[in-house]
Every structure is written in C-alpha cells, then in structure tokens.
Amino acid sequence: MFRSNVVTCAIAAALAAALPAAAQTPSNQDLEEIRRQIQELKESYESRIQALEKRLKEVDSRQIIAVAILTAVVLVAWFGWSNKLAHIGFYLVFGLSVTASGQLVGVYLVFATLIIPALATRNTKHWRLPKAYAVAALGYAVGLAASVWLDLPSGAVVVWTLAAAGIAFFALEGRRPAARL
C-alpha cells in the first residue's frame, strides 16, 4: 500500500514538473540548434558509411588468396604438429588466424564465429567439434543466403543466423552438465 502511494506521488510530481515545459513552444533558436545537431549526425553517419564502403572495396583477390594460404598452413601446423606446438603454438596459430581473418571480414564476425559454436556445443558429450562446425556452416549458409535474398549486410546477417543456429542447436541438444574437455 505504502509503495503504490509513493509510486503514484512520484509519477504525479514528474507530470507536474513536465507541464510547464510541455506548454512552452520551442523558439526559433532552439529549432535551429536541433536542425544543426541533426545535420551533424547525418554527416557523421554518411562519412562512416563511406569509410566502410572504401574498406570493403579495398579487399581484393590477393588478400583472399593470402589468407587462404595462411589458413592452410595453420591447419597443417595444428593438425600435424599440435603435440609439439603445445600452448605457445596454439596462441601463435590463434593470433595469426584471428589477425588475418579480422582484417578481411571484421572483428565482429570473427569473434561471433569463435564464440557461438563453442557455446552452442558446450554440453555435447560426443562429436563436439563436428557439431560446432555444423552450427557454424548452417549459420553461414543461411546468413549469406538471407543477406543476398533480403539485400542486407552480410556480416550482421551471418552473426544473427549464427546466433539463431547456436540457440537452436543448444535447445535441441538439451541441457546436460557441461562436457569435460
């Protein structure tokens, strides 16, 4: 009872304080200030879009080939010599991979690809790695198709579909205690 009275009084006081401000019409100077701020926001947005478009146009086939070769070397090193590389080798391979792919597709997409499949399969007892690859492949395939079909930015759509695939897998797999690594 006391709590509802306090809330009612607080709402009434807020409305009473807002009445004089609502009754005033903005001056021409206030309107000009608002227009100026909107124009600044518009210019800032346009410059960011232009910078992003420039960055996307700068990616060429040489960069893609270089990252593909680096990926092949990383996979051979990891699956061929992972016992000899130990922890320092993992961090070296991980750092090279994240840096190269982050420059190519963006940090947002790289870290979503690293985190979402791992979270989705964290309770999986068997075949965890293939299931994580399947979650990622499904997220990418559906995301890229949706991006083309809906004419939306690929990176953001892939992240959203990757998240949806991860949530769906986690829901279908069931909530069991976390698997021991």
Average pLDDT over residues 20-30: 67
Supply the pTM of this predicted model. Answer: 0.54
Could you tell me the CA-to-CA distances from 181 to 40, 62, 81, 122, 167 in Å, in that order?
A: 52, 38, 20, 10, 21
Residues with Cβ < 8 Å from 71, sequence gap 6 or more? 97, 100
| Residue 36: predicted pLDDT | 86
| Residue 52: predicted pLDDT | 64
Residue type, 27: S
The pLDDT of residue 19 is above 70: no
| Residue 20: predicted pLDDT | 62
The encoded tokens of residue 156 equal 């953001």
Annotated domain spans of the chain: 1-58, 59-102, 106-181
The string of pLDDT tens digits covering residues 135-159 is: 888 888 888 888 888 877 777 788 8
Average pLDDT over residues 43-65: 71
